[in-house]
Amino acid sequence: MITLTINGTRHDVSSDPATPLLYVLRDELGLHGAKYGCGFGQCGACTVMVDGRAVYSCVTPVAALPGREIKTVEGLGTIDSPGPMQRAFMDEQAAQCGYCIPGMMMRAQALLEQNPAAGEQDIRDHLQANLCRCGTHMRILAAVQRAADLMRSAGDGGPSPVTTGAVR
């Protein structure tokens, strides 16, 4: 039995220690936000956060994760109360097919938690590891910029220096 902390909740999982986190999330815990894309850590559809950093869950064995904080897209908010990242993606209509979106959100969330003042080039550089085949890159960039604005505004209660939707 391996104990994982996911979205603030402890889970005892019975999977083999070599099992990639993605399979435990989806098959054992019913958290379907992270998607299977390539299985090689090259597309980003499976991205989650571990200790505040974006990781590919398809190549991260659960044996490496006890005692670490794992956050999935489900941990960003709920349908009734979406978090700033989720709200921004909805407001910017950033999803077309939506397959890459959870991974994009998690990689962007990790960036903004580490660097709340991330600018357009920081966002572009950080998201480069995640692929979108639909071509909604410009809306995704705008959504992350909007999320940064929302997160800064919520943090200090004041207006952000970033113009919402500036990245187009």
What is the three-state SS of the chain? CEEEEECCEEEEECCCCCCEHHHHHHHHCCCCCCCCCCCCCCCCCCEEEECCEEEECCCCEHHHCCCCEEECHHHHCCCCCCCHHHHHHHHCCCCCCCCCHHHHHHHHHHHHHHCCCCCHHHHHHHHCCCCCCCCCHHHHHHHHHHHHHHHHHHHHCCCCCCCCCCCC
The 10s digit of each residue's pLDDT in 126-160 is 999 999 988 899 999 999 999 999 999 887 433 33
Tokens standing for 58?
């398809």
pLDDT number for residue 50: 98
- Whether pLDDT at 110 is above 90: yes
pLDDT number for residue 33: 97
Binned at pLDDT 50, 70 and 90, residue 167 comes out as very low
pLDDT number for residue 123: 97
pLDDT number for residue 154: 81
The 10s digit of each residue's pLDDT in 18-45 is 999 999 999 999 999 999 999 999 999 9
> Cα angle vertex 108, ends 104, 114, to 5°?
155
Task: For the beta carbon of residue 59, count every other beta carbon within 10 angstroms.
Answer: 15
pLDDT number for residue 78: 94
pLDDT number for residue 135: 86
The 10s digit of each residue's pLDDT in 63-90 is 999 999 999 999 999 999 999 999 999 9
Q: Which of 98, 87, 88 is nearest to 136 (CA)?
A: 98
What's this model's pTM, rounded to 2 decimal places?
0.89
pLDDT number for residue 163: 36
Average pLDDT over residues 4-28: 98
pLDDT number for residue 155: 73
- Whether pLDDT at 96 is above 70: yes
Domains of the chain: 2-76 (3.10.20.30), 84-156 (1.10.150.120)
